[in-house]
Structure 1
Amino acid sequence: MPARIAGRLPGELDEQQAEVYRAITGGARSTGPQLFPLTDQEGRLRGPFNAMLLSPPVGMAVQEVGAAVRYASVLTDRVREMAVLVVAAHWNSTFEQEAHEAVGRAYGLTDSELKALRAGELPALSDPAERAALRAALALTRTGVLHDREYYHAVAEWGERGLFELTSLVGYYALLALQLRVFAGEEPDGSCAPPQTESGTA
């Protein structure tokens, strides 16, 4: 399915939209390794960022959450990227998967780890803190629940702050995956639940 909203050139943006654009392209995302472009060759925002211009107040808040979970978290780079890829696999988000596999490789994720994550599975991880975080991320995407064992295991390794940041990351990238489906033309592969009727049954 093609994108439902057209990308906007920087010169076409009003001041509120331009502020969001500058925050995305000139903030923390613009530093470090540029492994996937935020804009096309003419400067239009790519992926989920383009939709953030539709509502500058909400778009600004959403991009600020994204910057916080990526650049101000106690989670390691490896854990963060693996958790994003857990979400990408669950939502079948091509953009998230391609972008964050590239970033994950830069932070040391192996081909076997990426293959497991692509399949929605827990990679063979030797680090107990990484295992705790990934088990929590998988549980959150599969069931939306952390049972006591998963909760206390994650807290023991990452603290309550780390677990809060992990749940925020999972929610943020699920939001982006949803926006990519609605506005950017990404389609599920049929692995998600079927549409519901008004009565709530399939």
Structure 2
Amino acid sequence: MSRLRPLKPQELNAAQRQLYGQVSGGPRAAGPQRFRLTAGDGSLTGPFNVFLHAPTVGAALSSVGEAIRYGTSLPARLRELAILTVAGHRDSAFERYAHERVGRSVGITEEEMRALRNLDDLDLDDPAEAAAYAFCKQALRKRGVDDAIFAAAAEQLGEQTLVELTALLGYYEGVALLLSVFDVGVPDDPDGVCHAGCDD
């Protein structure tokens, strides 16, 4: 049980309704869905229900998440590798639940996901992915990166993508903290029928 009760659509105030619509009807709900955005009672799952409890801050966080997921130069597979690196670092059940499903859809293998759960070494053929993974692991573990790791990542990714990747790490670490503090786990029926257009 989460420390925050699930907020159902009929009990939301105006600010909460606006944020609810942003999550349930925005980019996250468009196209194929790999994880549940809403529960059977209409409440939002994962961090999105947490966002509703403080809708001004929650809306800003939601917008940052949308920008990172849908508005960056990060290739989809590299993006999901980075998110799952955060999930492994923070042992975040919801982030793992959601983004392993997304990861499979962009070509992350089961062997790679097993390694990501423990931040084990990965034999990545793509030099940009290899540099990004080394960057993410060190940034999360040491709260910074040394010159060699930075230079390799900058060479492979470029400055814009490296800024976007670092922002991704900060955002998903923040989400993992919210999930941990408020004891938010995966949905009770994670493989059940989705209520926001899931294609599973």
Counterpart residue number, 2:46: 47
Q: Is the 8 A contact 1:112 1:123 kept in 2?
A: no
Counterpart residue number, 2:97: 98
Q: Give the aligned residue type for 2:91.
A: N
Q: TM-score, normalised by structure 2?
A: 0.90
1:173-195, Cα deviation, whole Å (9 max, x unpaired): 11111101111345xxxxxxxxx
Map 1:6-17 onto structure 2 (within 5 A): 6-17=5-16
Cα distance in 2 for residues equivalent to 1:123 and 1:25: 35
Aligned length: 185
Higher relative contact order (CA closer than 8 Å, sequence separation 6+): 2
Post-superposition offset of 1:57: 1.2
Map 1:8-157 onto structure 2 (within 5 A): 8-157=7-156
Query: How much identity, in percent, do the aligned residues show?
Result: 43
Cα distance in 1 for residues equivalent to 2:124 and 2:68: 22
Map 1:153-164 onto structure 2 (within 5 A): 153-164=152-163
Q: Is the 8 A contact 2:87 2:93 kept in 1?
A: yes
Cα distance in 2 for residues equivalent to 1:184 and 1:9: 19
Q: TM-score, normalised by structure 1?
A: 0.89
Cα distance in 2 for residues equivalent to 1:109 and 1:162: 20
Q: Is the 8 A contact 1:47 1:184 kept in 2?
A: no
Map 1:164-183 onto structure 2 (within 5 A): 164-183=163-182
Structure 1 runs (4+) greater than 4 angstroms displaced: none
Cα distance in 2 for residues equivalent to 1:26 and 1:157: 35
Q: Give the aligned residue type for 1:16.
A: A
Q: Is the 8 A contact 1:140 1:146 kept in 2?
A: yes
Q: Is the 8 A contact 2:94 2:184 kept in 1?
A: no
Q: Give the aligned residue type for 1:25.
A: S
Q: Is the 8 A contact 2:47 2:184 kept in 1?
A: no
| Cα-Cα RMSD | 1.0
Q: Which 5+ residue runs of structure 1 have no aligned equivalent?
A: 187-202
Cα distance in 2 for residues equivalent to 1:143 and 1:21: 36
Q: Give the aligned residue type for 1:81.
A: E
Cα distance in 2 for residues equivalent to 1:96 and 1:28: 18
Q: Which 5+ residue runs of structure 2 have no aligned equivalent?
A: 186-200
Cα distance in 2 for residues equivalent to 1:122 and 1:75: 21
Q: Is the 8 A contact 1:122 1:134 kept in 2?
A: no
Cα distance in 1 for residues equivalent to 2:54 and 2:7: 14
User: Tell me, what secondary structure is at the counterpart of 1:73?
Assistant: coil
Cα distance in 2 for residues equivalent to 1:123 and 1:99: 21
1:93-119, Cα deviation, whole Å (9 max, x unpaired): 111011111110010111111111111
Cα distance in 1 for residues equivalent to 2:69 and 2:151: 23
Post-superposition offset of 1:148: 1.1
